[in-house]
Amino acid sequence: MKKKIILCLLSGILGVSLLTGCSSKINEDATVVTVGKNEVTLGEANFYARMTQAQWETYYSSYLGEEMWKQEAEEGVTYEESVKKDILTQLEQMAVLKDHAEEEGVGISEEESTKIKEAAKAFVKANKEDDLEKVSGSTKSVESVLEMLTLNQKMSTVIGNKADSEVSDEEAAQKSMDYVSFPFTVTDEEGQSKELTEDEITALKETAKTFAAEGKTAEDFKAYASEKGYEATTVTFDSESTSVNADLLAAAEGLKAGETTEAIESDSAVYVGRVTSLLDRTATDAKKESIVEERKSELYKTTVEKWVKDAGTKVDKGNWKKVDFQSLKVTIKQVEQTEEEAN
């Protein structure tokens, strides 16, 4: 994903502007972080950070505002501190992956190397020399970052494929249900939302109770709902689903296939549902795939974190501090890509 993001940004033209009136030139060959025997230079770290910054400023500044990097992402932590912390972690992980790539049989092919060089060359050609200098956008730094991202992506696949891919129906089981909602708000002719009065809500609850009682004997719940002027919604679910109202979910969890709930009251509506299957094949198979992907992601995360811990890290805080988001604004103006270039 990171590789694709950077490649996407490389297809654009930089928008770089100083916010403090001055900018000190950095030593791109200085070291920012050392992980085991591998080092990440200030040029590599600055370029990777500026591309990440450009993504944030291009897509999030419209609602976070011009002073976005000074705002708190969480209590006591600014967005700049939070994003830079994540970037440093990513750089540490990409650095340690170099140590383990060979043992995993992972490398960069000639074709990939050629594409990386072409992308770096095109990026440098498309942007002003002064702007490139501010973001460490030299051919050397760009190529190096793209190589790290390429190894990262390939190692992620190799490590993830070692995860257990066997998932039982029981573990992934997804049920299915049709339900009708009786909301406490209505939309008027002008499209405005309006809350029902207490008397209207009381009457609605009685309607829902009658609907539930009669619906228990209906052979086709969706057809029954349609006859009564309602539209039934079909959902798949398990005990941890959040797409279904919690009260309705709790009531449906104890039912067998073909059984219908009572009228289930919540704060905003009344629900009546019928469980149609205790094992929806399509949804269950999709859940299995999701579980396997989660296992792959978790295995990759824990594996790389262990490698970083075992290798040991050393950060030059003085050099890393030179990557300052508040003194330099970076955005990306996208340009048209051919389908071949996008791939």
Residue 95 CB contacts under 8 Å (≥ 6 apart), including other chains: 33, 34, 35, 36, 38, 39, 40, 148
Residue 5: is its pLDDT beyond 80? Answer: no
Cα maximum dimension of the chain: 78
Q: Determine contact, residues 14/330, Cβ cutoff 8 Å.
A: yes
Residue 188: is its pLDDT beyond 80? Answer: no
Q: How many CB atoms lie within 10 A of CB 99?
A: 15
Query: Residue 267: pLDDT band by 50, 70, 90 thresholds?
Result: very high
At 131 the pLDDT is 87
Distance CA(276)–CA(331), nearest Å, equals 51
What average pLDDT does range 299-317 have in this prediction?
Answer: 96
**Does the pTM exceed 0.85?**
no
At 63 the pLDDT is 83
Residue 271: is its pLDDT beyond 50? Answer: yes
Query: Residue 6: pLDDT band by 50, 70, 90 thresholds?
Result: low
At 336 the pLDDT is 46
Distance CA(299)–CA(75), nearest Å, equals 30
Residue 165: is its pLDDT beyond 70? Answer: yes
Distances (CA, A) of 105 to 12, 102, 154, 306, 324: 33, 5, 10, 19, 37
At 62 the pLDDT is 81
Residue 341: is its pLDDT beyond 60? Answer: no
Query: Domain 175-278: which topology?
Result: Chitinase A; domain 3 (3.10.50)
At 190 the pLDDT is 78
What average pLDDT does range 71-76 have in this prediction?
Answer: 93
Pick from 4-8, 180-184, 191-195, 236-240: least confident: 4-8
Distances (CA, A) of 143 to 27, 44, 182: 17, 9, 58
φ, ψ dihedrals at 256, nearest 5°? -90, 165
Per-residue model confidence as pLDDT tens digits over 50-61: 989 988 888 888
Per-residue model confidence as pLDDT tens digits over 122-156: 888 888 888 889 999 999 999 999 999 999 999 99
Report DSSP letters for 64-119, one per residue: H-TTGGGSEEETTEEHHHHHHHHHHHHHHHHHHHHHHHTTTT----HHHHHHHHHH
Q: In this predicted model, which residue has the larger pLDDT, 307 or 326?
A: 307
Q: What is the DSSP letter of 16?
A: E
List the domain boundaries for the chain: 2-164+292-342, 175-278
φ, ψ dihedrals at 314, nearest 5°? -140, 125
Per-residue model confidence as pLDDT tens digits over 30-48: 999 999 989 999 999 999 9
Residue 111: is its pLDDT beyond 80? Answer: yes
At 12 the pLDDT is 58
